[in-house]
Amino acid sequence: MYTLIHQDKNSRARLGKLTTAHGEIETPCFMPVGTHATVKGVCQRDLAQMGAQIILANAYHVFLRPGLEVIEKAGGLHNFISWEKPMLTDSGGYQIFSLARLRKISDRGVEFQSHIDGKKHFFTPEDVVRIQETLGSDIMMPLDECSDYPSAKDHARIAMERTIHWAKRARKAKQRKDQLLFGIIQGATYEDLRKECAKEICGMDFDGYAIGGVSVGEPSSLIYQTIDFVKDHLPEDKAHYVMGIGFAPDILEAVERGIDMFDCVIPTRYGRNGTAFTSEGKIVIRNSPFIEDFGPLDKQCGCYVCKSFSRAYLRHLFNAEEMLGLMLLSYHNLYFFLKLMRDIRQAIKTNSFSEYKKEFLTQYNR
């Protein structure tokens, strides 16, 4: 399932390979997020051409729309969206806690009202596994309880213990051998809770391990600290995943600590709002300095957008409210992050990750 190929001699950064039913994934990797079974503004052909190895969909949203019956009749989620490469489905736990109009959480599961039509649903950990087995994703995530930030320790402990309890039930409920099931480590920002949860979850022999409950409003320094709490408890022969990280500096810090997988909506969300990520940091293309800037978004980028269009034209598209603008910036931003991961993998391979990280951040933060 996961093969450790090489570890950088000067850090914990790892080069690996994750094998799934729909193909192999070179790690460290970034997963474009297709919440509603679509990566916003970018078609599947373009995702494949720019080097996306795996995408993420959300079981909560797909369960509500179009529904499991439609997906099942289509022959699974891969067939429904015409994506032949690997796919990870998130359980939807975070969306239930953040989007549902009303929810009641118990050890048995979660009762909630749909944020779309108000209809009541009840998810148990077993239901969430069954839903994802119907979807046919390559990697499934179990139902977990994500703590808010900041979170009182007693509330964080309850959420952590419930996550462990649900993980055991999810592990037992899994039936399909062609799907991987990852465990999720919770515990908010508390070292003892994170370590306790890591020991319990890692003792269940999941196919990979995720650190959840980060990127929920805390500063980056606490994200790094949370990874540090649990990194020594993560098995070296399994994939390590931090959920929701999406800024380049945070990805580099996490890779340095031995993390293999990342996902975030940031590339497309920022792209839709006129912000581009470049080798010299973020730029807001709507701004007036770009009115007559006929250079590319990023001189060091080889993507279709940077080869074909000027900053002036992209600014025009946004200010004229043309949908092409948000599509092009979303494309460029995803290419930027996927190229970042390719460069990271090459640096690990040559034992030069620390030098690469320093050079990248020096230019990016200029």
Instruction: Report pLDDT digits (tens) over 156-214.
Output: 999 999 999 999 999 999 999 999 999 999 999 999 999 999 999 999 999 999 999 99
Residues of the chain with pLDDT under 50: none
Amino acid at 283: I
Interatomic CA distance for residues 32 and 11, integer angstroms: 26
pLDDT digits (tens, 9 = 90+) for 292-313: 999 999 999 999 999 999 999 9
Interatomic CA distance for residues 191 and 226, integer angstroms: 7
pLDDT digits (tens, 9 = 90+) for 218-240: 999 999 999 999 999 999 999 99
**Of these residues, 46, 138, 207, 263, which one is catalytic?**
263
**Of these residues, 46, 90, 207, 250, which one is catalytic?**
90
Across-strand partners of 263? 31
Considering all CA atoms of the chain, what is the largest pairwise distance in Å, rounded to the nearest integer?
61
Indicate if 138 belongs to the active site.
Answer: no
Q: Residue 100's pLDDT is what?
A: 66
Indicate if 263 belongs to the active site.
Answer: yes
Cis (ω within 30 of 0) for the bond into 289? no
- Indicate whether this model's pTM tops 0.95: yes
235 Cβ contact partners less than 8 Å away, ≥ 6 residues apart: 202, 209
